[in-house]
Homo-oligomer: A and B are copies of this chain.
Amino acid sequence: MFDSLFSERGLSLDRLKVLLEVRDAGSIAQAAPGDPVRQSQYSRQLRELSEFFGCEVAHRRGKILKLTAAGERLAELTREQLRSLDDFRADCRQQNVTFTLGAGDSLIQWLVIPKLGRILDAFPGIHFSTTNLRTNEIVRQITDGRLDFGIIRENAVAPGLKAVPLGVVRYAALVPGRWARAKGGITLGQALRERPLATQTTDGQFASGLRDIAQQLGVPLQAALSCQSFPQTLAALRTGRFWALVPELATHDLPPGSMVRIADERLRQLDREAMLAWNPRLVRVRPNAAKVATHLQQALTIH
């Protein structure tokens, strides 16, 4: 199909553009004012178009070159085509101002959303859509292009993906302030043994780490309240009836002094390195994607 258009040389978008420029300017000289070099190139390119289409697109009338009727038609046809391509490209770029970002629910709530304001300030017209996903699903969707960015664990980065570190996500063990004041303090072991625990149970790696800690303390792990997300555990904590383990980032949401933090080095076992990941194709295909990635890394870095 359309093979005859490609079996001969002489047709190119550049040449068609020159035809359009000459038509709009009125002559080669006016299309390339004071530039004999471009003037000679334009002359040649118009001739090549004439030879390709088998009709003159312009002819000399005195000193001045004028487009023929056929040349005028070709120029208008070209204008429509270049406009369509330009509009299509602009449309792509318009639609592609929304970047999608997947992360765990708590990271979205306490890391991403608080910082997105700064990112949007830096990129007027850019939008984000966040998606609450598990790490393995994030990896899958980034790989096949359904997700632009994701925050995943360091050890989940797949080959082929680009990832940069965001820092360490830490967890804090909090108990209601009045519990701690009544007893003059409470240890992690005491809390696990004696107090009702509200904990997030859907994150396999977190749950596994918590089991390890309980085992090290020789204490059975029994959640009084199993929650699906850390925001839910924080809500439980606020009732004053439970203690909880929550991301360090979430502690900023609590009134100062309302909770007391249990200090225990074993909690470091729950720490995880968070990475911002994306598909390298993204930055090749999408305008601004590389800059957005850079800004995301800066803004989302955990201190």
Q: Which residues of A contact B (CB under 8 A)?
A: 1-2, 4-6, 11-14, 17, 20-21, 24, 47, 50-56, 59-61, 70, 73-74, 77, 80-86, 88-89, 92-93, 95-96, 144-145, 281, 284-287
User: Are B2 and A86 touching (Cβ within 8 A)?
Assistant: yes
A5 in contact with B1 given A81-B81, A89-B53 (CB within 8 Å)? no
User: Are A17 and B6 touching (Cβ within 8 A)?
Assistant: yes
Chain A contact residues, majority secondary structure: helix
Query: In the assembled complex, how far is the CB of residue A12 from the closest CB belonging to chain B, in whole angstroms?
Result: 7
User: Are A51 and B144 touching (Cβ within 8 A)?
Assistant: no
Which of B17, B54, B144, B286 contacts A286, CB < 8 Å? B54
Number of copies: 2
Query: In the assembled complex, how far is the CB of residue A272 from the closest CB belonging to chain B, in whole angstroms?
Result: 30
A–B complex contacts, Cβ < 8 Å, 24 sampled: A1-B20, A1-B24, A4-B86, A4-B89, A5-B82, A5-B89, A6-B13, A6-B14, A11-B13, A11-B85, A12-B12, A50-B285, A51-B285, A52-B89, A54-B89, A54-B93, A54-B285, A55-B93, A56-B145, A70-B92, A70-B95, A73-B88, A74-B88, A80-B84
Query: In the assembled complex, how far is the CB of residue A172 from the closest CB belonging to chain B, in whole angstroms?
Result: 41
Which of B2, B24, B92 contacts A54, CB < 8 Å? B92
Which of B17, B52, B53 contacts A2, CB < 8 Å? B17
User: Are B12 and A13 touching (Cβ within 8 A)?
Assistant: yes
Residues of chain B with a CB closer than 8 A to A20's CB: 1-2
